[in-house]
Structures are given as C-alpha cells and as structure tokens.
Structure 1
Amino acid sequence: MRTPSDAAPATSTPAAAWARAATFALAVAALASGAGPARAGAPLPDLTTSVADVEVERDANVTPGDVAEGCASATTGVDLLRFSTFSHNEGAADLLLGDPMCPNCATMPGASCGNPAFHCSPAGGHGHGHYTNYATYELLDAEQNVVAVGGKLGFCLLDTFCEGGAVPRFDSCDFQGLSAGCTDEYAYTLGCQYIEVTGLPDGAYTLRVTVDPLDEIAESDESNNAALEPVSLGPHVEPDVALAGTTVRLAALPSGATRLRLAAEAGGPLDLPSAGLAPTQGGATLAVADAGAPGSGLAFDLPADGWEALGRPPGADGWRFRGGKDGPCRRARLGPRGLRARCEGPGLALPAEGVLDVVFTSGGEKRYCVRFGGKERRNDARRLERVKAAIAACPS
C-alpha cells in the first residue's frame, strides 16, 4: 500500500527496461486506442471502482508538490473533499501495464517515459511517473453540472488486496498491473487524493470517480467504470434512526458490573452505505429507554474510530463497533435489519419487561474532539472527520 508521502520516485535503469521489454510489449497491446483488437475469445480485465472515507477538510494545508501538480490552488487555507478510491479488476484476465520505463523524474521533470502510457510529473511536483488518463475525479451539483475536478493522476497501480483466492502478482511500482480478483487502493491521505472545494456553496453534491475514462484499456465490460457518492458541504445533522427493541438481557458479572445485551429491529431496510449512517464519519450514540417511563434509560457513545465496514465499501453490509475507549459499550453491530449491542458497567438497570425505545444517532448530538494536522476540532463544527483520528475530550 502506498504511503502518505505519495511514494518514492520510480526509476528504471536501461538494463531493467530491456529485461522487461517482452512483457512491456504485451502491456502496450493491452491498452486501447488502442490497444489493438483483442484476440477473439481471449479473456479480458474488467475495471470497476468504489469510494470510501469521504470527508471535508476545511482550512487545509497541502504540499507545494500538490500545487505544482495542479491539484490545489494554494498550499494553505484551502478546503478539500478527501476520499479513498478503489480500483477492482473483476475480469477474467490480469490488467498488465508493465515497467513505466521512466527516467529519474525528480531530476528530469516532465520527461517522457519509455512506456508511452506514463510521463514524469512536472517541475516541483511529486517526482515520479504518472499513468496518463487512468481516472477522473469530478464533483457534480444538484443539476449534474461539473463544478470541480481533481488533479490526481495514477502513479502506481498494484495489488493492494485480493479476494476469492485470487493470487496477487503486482507488488511494485517498477512493474505495474492489477491481477484478476484484486483491488488497488488510493488512500485519502495521499497527495492530490481530493477535490478542492474552496468557495463552493453549501449544499448537496455528487462525487463521481471514473477509471479509464477514455476507454483506453480493453475490458470485458466498458459500462461499469464509474462510481457515484452523495456528498454534503456545509453544516449537516443526520436524523436519528429509531429501532424497535425486541430483546434485552441483563446479566451480573463476577466483577460486580452488569452486562447489557440488546437486539433491536429496524422498521425497514437501513440505507447503510449512505453518509448519514456511516459511523466512521461522525461517531454514533445508542440510546435505550423505557417507553413508559419518560426520563429513564441509558445512552452510550460510540466514537468514530471504533467502527469498521462489513463488506467492501461503498456497499457495506453493515458496521461493526469494537470499542476500547468509550466506557461501557464494547461491541455493537449495525446491519440492514437492526442492531445488536453489548455494553457493561456498574449501575446498568432496565425494566425486565415493557416497551423499549432504541435510537441510533449518527453524528448530530454527539460531541467529541479529534486532532490532526496540528488542529483540534469538534464534530459539531465539522460534519466529517478523518477516519482513525485520535479521539480526545473536548475542551470546556
């Protein structure tokens, strides 16, 4: 997986280039405009994409290299829509790009690479080769007009992880590709992995990520290369999600504490992939109360950094919380049909019978602070925070 430093500059010696010449010829043959006609009946790769870790970062700082690459307008004071992108090869064949055959891009900015699909970054940029036209990042307004674009260019396509027994074959920026059944990840922490949204009005938008936008790669399916993700800029509070309590069990522990086990049903399918129900973006609060006794009940805070998606984003089949910092709640699982939770501690008391109200709140009334980039912010001041950011007590 690439590092936040945006990877070291990739270079290739003449000897290495000649050693890979035969494979490079195959890589060129796999590229369209192309790529020349594929052999009849030959298996092909199939690129799809997905998006995760969507967040808005206000008043951000970026490196001078990002500005030189055309990703941001300034190194300070910019607003960014950050996100991670995943390229999946769901086809029957590997996607083979081969050796970029680039010179030392740090000392030869803008130079051509031996592999015509690559070129060196510009002067002052990140100092490595870029794959031309691999992906586009666009932000659409409510009328589906493109109002902002990202400047990210692919630089290293490799097998970050594989599924279904697929065997990874590409693990180096010196020889690139994407094996069948494998996924390449560009994390939101990388340079230029964002769209600048400075000056855009608050409102609802759509993030559109497209891989191989010019159809230069021969694929078995050219119609599935885009992913859409709803995005909200500006203050936003998600509505509570009311669940029907079905079973609740209290058990005494040897330590003298009490353990609560809860199962609650949803009144209908929960739209879990949406930003409104992504606990990693805002944390959550689980409240359990006796419907017949106003003022009674328990509330449990579930911070943002304890959740993980069940399934591949953005179509996650639920969220699992494994708490370690938030007091009584240690485990919770939110799925399309409801929620199961286990919390323990002194003083837990609920009626043995009666109607229970269970409310799951994503963000909204929850208050916590995070620190990143040398700044501390509350989640009520910013809707989205970095996943895995350290959570701290908010200053009074």
Structure 2
Amino acid sequence: MKTPGLKISILTLLAVVLCPPFGSPVGAQQGSCATQIGPKMPDLIVDQALLGAQMFVTEETFGNSTCTVKENCVTSPGKHLLLRFNGSTANVGKADLVIGNPGSCGSLFLFDDCHQHYHFQQFADYRVWSLDGYNTWVANRDLTIASNTGINAQLIALALSQGQLKTTRKQGFCISDDTPYLSTAGPAAYQNCDTQQGLSVGWEDQYPPQIPCQFAQIDGLVDGTYVLEMHVNPDLLIPESDYTNNTGAIKFQFTAKHGNTGPSIQVLP
C-alpha cells in the first residue's frame, strides 16, 4: 500500500516495457508506451469489495496552495463535501502490466510540479450517479469503446445535463504491486513509483480512501439513493484482453446534514 504522497493526483499514464524485471511470472506482451506486441495481455478490474467496504463522507477545507486544488481534484479552494472510498485495481489477466519510463511517452504523461512526478492522465473515472441515471447508463453503454467517444460520451453528456450524473472526475495512479489479489499470485515485481511501476498478474494496486484526491466531490447532494462507479482505463489507452469488466459500482443511501447531525451514507445491497 502506498503512503499519501507516493500515489496521488490527477491521473497517471502507463508505458509498458518489453519484459518484466525481477523474474516476474508472466511477461507483458506489450512494447514501450502500451504498444501491443503479443497475444497475452493484462486484464484490469475494480476491487468492488474494497470499494464498498471503505466508503465514508467528510467535510474538508483546502487552501489555494494545496496539491488537491492545484491538481483540480476539487472545483475550487474552500470547504467541500467529499465521498471518500478505496479505489483499487487488480490484474487478473495473462500478462503483467509493466510501466516504463513515463518521460519517454511524450504527451501521454503529465509532469506534476506539485508532487514532482509524472501522472498518467486517463487511468480511472470516478462517477456519482442518481439511481435512474446509472440504470440508463448500464442499459445503453458500450464498454468495448472508450468512454469519451460514441454512445458513451453521448450518455455521459446527457446525464450531466439532466442532473443524473452528479459528479465525474478523472483520477491518476502510480501503479504498483501492493497486495496479492489471487491465491496464484507470484512474487511482487513492481513496487517503486519512481523507477519501476507495474502490476503483476494476480496482484492489486491499492488506493485507500485517506490518500489525497481519493474521493468524489459531492457538494449539494440531497437525500437519496445514488451509485458510486469507478471505471478503470475508461478511454482504453492500455491494451487489455477484456474491457467489459473494467467497472465497479456501489449503491448507497445518502443523508445530508440536518441541524447538528452531519452527513452520512449507508451502503446498500
């Protein structure tokens, strides 16, 4: 698990090297900067169990000089209502995801002056939906195409305009082997955010809710039933064997602040 400050930010981009270091069990059959060169591929999924188990609301204040403001994790300085949650990604594919030197991939990476490291800019989307909005999205979306194109982009734009999509934000990751996800996982191979990022087969990259920017801003949310959705690799920038399993979603009941009673959530089945 990363400590706050190692994995933070706006979004983190992945480059992939030819073969994994340290005797990793399965070589990623991709070239540098996520170029596919073989049939075996990673397969990224959201850890939905952790997503639902570690959700809570907080009210927090951010100054102009904070990285949270500079990285646009909130819409403005000041006090905000946040839905914090665990955003973790596992690799259940046939090959490691290997991240090379981010500085070699041009515009795919953004160097963050606040944290002094590169960020992959399209790694995950965080969305908070109304229940009706989420049901419409699931019934009509096409996860085999990028979320920013075609029917997916149209559905998201329409939901935003109608108030059914309450908030959406992209988030960046420093990818590393934090904890085994599958019992068949081999030894960890990628555990350095500065020099060797990646995600071995059977391992999970964890972002606990306390990490900066690990939240959705929910200012003004009223009492009701909502859905938190995490969509990993939403724009299909990372070649995978399966894109249809890249989302995780948790339904929850939200109760706004009333008098001296603070806001709260209850995860629903």
Task: Flag whether TM exceeds 0.5 (same fold).
Answer: yes
Structure 1 pair 23/233, CA: closer, same or farther in 2 (3 Å)?
same
- 2:81–2:218 Cα contact (<8 Å) kept: yes
How many angstroms does 1:217 deviate by? 1.8
- 2:42–2:92 Cα contact (<8 Å) kept: yes
Quote the Cα distance in structure 2 between the aligned partners of 1:382 and 1:200: 10
Tell me whether 1:161 sits opposite 2:179 in the alignment: yes
Higher helix share: 2
Q: Partner residue of 1:53?
A: 54
- 1:150–1:194 Cα contact (<8 Å) kept: no
Give identity over the alignment, percent: 27
Q: Partner residue of 1:130?
A: 119
Paired AA for residue 166 in structure 1: A
Paired AA for residue 170 in structure 1: Y
Tell me whether 1:203 sits opposite 2:224 in the alignment: yes
Q: Unaligned regions of 5+ residues in structure 2, if any?
A: 10-15, 21-27, 134-163
2:68 aligns to what SS in structure 1? Answer: helix
Paired AA for residue 146 in structure 1: L
Structure 1 pair 22/46, CA: closer, same or farther in 2 (3 Å)?
closer
How many angstroms does 1:54 deviate by? 0.9
- 2:124–2:170 Cα contact (<8 Å) kept: no
Q: Partner residue of 1:97?
A: 99
Q: Partner residue of 1:70?
A: 72
How many angstroms does 1:74 deviate by? 3.4
- 1:136–1:213 Cα contact (<8 Å) kept: yes
Quote the Cα distance in structure 2 between the aligned partners of 1:30 and 1:228: 32
Of 160-169 and 86-95, the range deviating more from structure 2: 160-169
Quote the Cα distance in structure 2 between the aligned partners of 1:29 and 1:141: 40
Tell me whether 1:185 sits opposite 2:176 in the alignment: no
Tell me whether 1:233 sits opposite 2:234 in the alignment: no
Q: Partner residue of 1:320?
A: none
2:87 aligns to what SS in structure 1? Answer: strand
Q: Partner residue of 2:81?
A: 79
- 1:66–1:126 Cα contact (<8 Å) kept: no
Q: Partner residue of 1:212?
A: 233
Quote the Cα distance in structure 1 between the aligned partners of 2:30 and 2:184: 28
- 1:23–1:98 Cα contact (<8 Å) kept: no
How many angstroms does 1:187 deviate by? 1.1
Tell me whether 1:43 sits opposite 2:32 in the alignment: no
- 1:49–1:227 Cα contact (<8 Å) kept: yes
Paired AA for residue 118 in structure 1: F
Structure 1 pair 62/165, CA: closer, same or farther in 2 (3 Å)?
farther
Structure 1 pair 141/161, CA: closer, same or farther in 2 (3 Å)?
same
How many angstroms does 1:183 deviate by? 0.4
Q: Unaligned regions of 5+ residues in structure 1, if any?
A: 10-19, 101-112, 237-377, 386-396
Quote the Cα distance in structure 2 between the aligned partners of 1:30 and 1:222: 20
Structure 1 pair 30/22, CA: closer, same or farther in 2 (3 Å)?
closer
1:57 aligns to what SS in structure 2? Answer: strand
Structure 1 pair 384/202, CA: closer, same or farther in 2 (3 Å)?
closer
Q: Partner residue of 1:115?
A: 105
Structure 1 pair 7/181, CA: closer, same or farther in 2 (3 Å)?
closer
Paired AA for residue 61 in structure 1: T
- 2:17–2:98 Cα contact (<8 Å) kept: no
Structure 1 pair 151/211, CA: closer, same or farther in 2 (3 Å)?
closer
1:91 aligns to what SS in structure 2? Answer: coil
Quote the Cα distance in structure 1 between the aligned partners of 2:40 and 2:18: 20
TM-score, L = length of structure 1: 0.48
Tell me whether 1:149 sits opposite 2:168 in the alignment: yes
Quote the Cα distance in structure 2 between the aligned partners of 1:166 and 1:96: 16
Quote the Cα distance in structure 1 between the aligned partners of 2:121 and 2:29: 14
Quote the Cα distance in structure 1 between the aligned partners of 2:121 and 2:172: 7
Higher strand share: 1
How many angstroms does 1:128 deviate by? 2.1
Structure 1 pair 27/382, CA: closer, same or farther in 2 (3 Å)?
same
Quote the Cα distance in structure 1 between the aligned partners of 2:237 and 2:32: 9
2:231 aligns to what SS in structure 1? Answer: strand
Quote the Cα distance in structure 2 between the aligned partners of 1:71 and 1:8: 10
1:56 aligns to what SS in structure 2? Answer: strand
- CA-based RMSD of the aligned residues comes to 3.0
How many angstroms does 1:134 deviate by? 0.9
- Alpha-carbon displacement from aligned partner over 1:153-194 (angstroms, at most 9, x marks no partner): 22x100001131412111111211100000000111111111
How many angstroms does 1:5 deviate by? 3.3
- 2:42–2:239 Cα contact (<8 Å) kept: yes
TM-score, L = length of structure 2: 0.69
- 1:27–1:96 Cα contact (<8 Å) kept: no
Tell me whether 1:175 sits opposite 2:56 in the alignment: no
Corresponding residue pairs, total: 211
- 1:151–1:195 Cα contact (<8 Å) kept: no
- 1:30–1:95 Cα contact (<8 Å) kept: no
Quote the Cα distance in structure 2 between the aligned partners of 1:233 and 1:384: 5
